Amino acid sequence: MQLTILASAIWDQCDGDARHDGLRSAARLFAGCDDRDRNPRRANDDPQGNLSAGDHQAREAPFTGTFNTDGRWQVTPNVEVFADGSIGDTRLPDQAPPGVFQTETLAGTSLRAGVRADTALGLLGLSGYRSDARVSLYDIGLANQGPLTFGEYQTTYVFEASDLMKLGTGHSARLGLEFRRNADDSGSLILGRISNDIYAASLMWDWQMTPSLALTNAVRVDHLLLHFAGTLLPTSGLTTAAYNATTLTEPSFNSGLVWKLTDEDTLRLSLARGVQLPTLLEYALQVPAGLYNPFVSYAGRPDLAPSIVWNAEVDYDRGRPAIGSVLRTALFAQRIDDIISWPFGALLSFSAVHAPVFFSDNVGYSTAAGMELELKGHADSGFRWNARYALVSTTNHTPLGQGPVLTGTVDYAHSTPDHVLTGGIGYARDNWELDLRSRWQSSYLDFRLNPARTALNAVNIDNYITMNARIGYRVTDSLTVALTAQQFNQSQLVETAGPPVQRQIILSMSAHL
């Protein structure tokens, strides 16, 4: 069992005329640790919870510590300045793309500042953001040859400008410009520095066609420039010039129609095209032969195409005033084109210099279709409730996993549960709050390397249920304490092909000063 303690505080201060001046700041501190992975136990004697000796060597107890603060200053009735920042330190045992279980430590900071102004030209916004993360991956290499430590230093800069305008009585529009720079420096994973510059422009248009009918359209265009400096594996046959000549331009959009049929009935239709750009490691990962495979190296590639996600959805909400509830029904369909596979899951190929290499690759497409039913509501007596059922059917259209030997973990058709059922009930009275939540999901496939770390195995994860409970008490108008039990129905539960997850008890306190 893991015990976590949370504390948070909010300070509000207004100087002078409350309509004109004010300062608000907030801080939250979170810390927690346990040693569950130093002494892993089996879940109901199920071998799913077991790991190889090498995987055990690469896992350390988790720890999380964060500090967040934000502030706002109302300079004038129409101008607001804001800023926020965070510092965090995390140690997390997780599963890596090759199917091994490792420990990732991440120490990062973030800072954002900006200004909003309500002017005759609209609501103007200007902001800047900067974050960095120092990442260390503790792993075991080929044939459990001993500890390996991979390091990265990731940085992100974002600058945004926007203008939200009201155009007459039935129209509003938002214009946006964004510049983003992502960079990853790693002498062990990339053998250099990979970065991209992304320039984006967006437009949102909201049209209230009639009192009961509204249409929203949003479009965005991203233009990416890739940059690389460093050393490339000779076996990859790739060149720095190929990386630095890589550009992408991709549009995305989202359209939604909301029709208020009656006071109790609402129909929603939506269609969207999303773009998932390759990550920096998918572009530039470089692992020489001998670490995970004695004869074959692993490499990213600059000519990866982005994954395109198409989504269509129909929602219907029906109010049930007699029981204080709303019944929601949704049907959806999705298709992902140009799925990106890591080098560790791709098919073997030969580079331009005729060397065997596992490259990052686009490996086909996947489809999904499903439905959701949800009932939620509340009563004047203080009770609240919700129940939701989701059904999804997915298909794979990739060359991966088609033969007798598994080649990767990209398997949407079997690695997603078909059925998910969630429900909850809560009650609030005077100073007390009580909540009970549960979630059940059907079985699915996960993946991990065999103990010898020579082949990938599929592992069936049986259906399981988790139950969480929370009790909160408002000591004063500004102080609340709460006790939360996560997964209280089982002390440990197999949710993945890795070690079982343990029950957590969380004690929290929040203050508004």
Pairing of strands 147-167, 456-461: unpaired
- Band of residue 428 on the pLDDT scale cut at 50, 70, 90: very high
Question: Distance between CA 126 and CA 82 in Å, rounded?
Answer: 10
Count, residues in the chain:
513
The DSSP call for residue 321 is: G
Pairing of strands 286-287, 297-299: antiparallel
- Res 40: pLDDT: 34
- Res 151: pLDDT: 82
What is the overall mean pLDDT for the chain? 84
> What is the dihedral angle through the alpha carbons of 428, 433, 434, 437, rounded to the nearest 10 degrees?
90
Closest by CA position to 334, among listed 279, 399, 392: 392
- Band of residue 407 on the pLDDT scale cut at 50, 70, 90: low
Examine the pLDDT at 146 and tell me if it is beyond 60. Answer: no
**Lowest-pLDDT range, 34-38, 73-77, 371-375, 445-449?**
34-38
Cβ-proximal residues to 96 (8 Å cutoff; 6+ apart), any chain: 102, 137, 139
Which range scores top for mean pLDDT: 97-101, 224-228, 288-292? 224-228
Question: Distance between CA 107 and CA 65 in Å, rounded?
Answer: 10
Instruction: Give how far Cα 428 sits from Cα of 387, 425, 434, Å.
Output: 18, 11, 6
- Which pLDDT tens digit goes with each residue over 486-499? 999 988 888 887 77
Examine the pLDDT at 160 and tell me if it is beyond 50. Answer: yes
Report the percent of the chain where pLDDT is more than 90: 55
* Homologous superfamily assigned to 2-512: TonB-dependent receptor, beta-barrel domain (2.40.170.20)
Pairing of strands 340-341, 325-337: unpaired
- Res 90: pLDDT: 83
- Res 105: pLDDT: 83
Examine the pLDDT at 69 and tell me if it is beyond 60. Answer: yes
Examine the pLDDT at 99 and tell me if it is beyond 70. Answer: no
State if pTM tops 0.85. Answer: no
- Which pLDDT tens digit goes with each residue over 286-296? 988 877 777 88
Cβ-proximal residues to 244 (8 Å cutoff; 6+ apart), any chain: 226, 227, 228
Examine the pLDDT at 249 and tell me if it is beyond 80. Answer: yes
Burial 95-105 (b: 16+ CB within 10 A, else e): bbbbbbbbbbb
Examine the pLDDT at 15 and tell me if it is beyond 50. Answer: no
Cβ-proximal residues to 397 (8 Å cutoff; 6+ apart), any chain: 364, 365, 366, 367
Which amino acid, residue 206? D
Examine the pLDDT at 425 and tell me if it is beyond 90. Answer: yes
The encoded tokens of residue 21 equal: 């001046």
Examine the pLDDT at 38 and tell me if it is beyond 50. Answer: no
- Stretch 462-473: mean pLDDT, rounded? 94
Number of neighbouring beta carbons within 10 Å of residue 250: 18
Question: Distance between CA 191 and CA 235 in Å, rounded?
Answer: 14
Question: Distance between CA 57 and CA 495 in Å, rounded?
Answer: 21
- Stretch 305-315: mean pLDDT, rounded? 97
Examine the pLDDT at 214 and tell me if it is beyond 90. Answer: yes
**Lowest-pLDDT range, 423-432, 443-452, 471-480?**
443-452
* CB-CB contact of 392 with 372 (8 Å): no
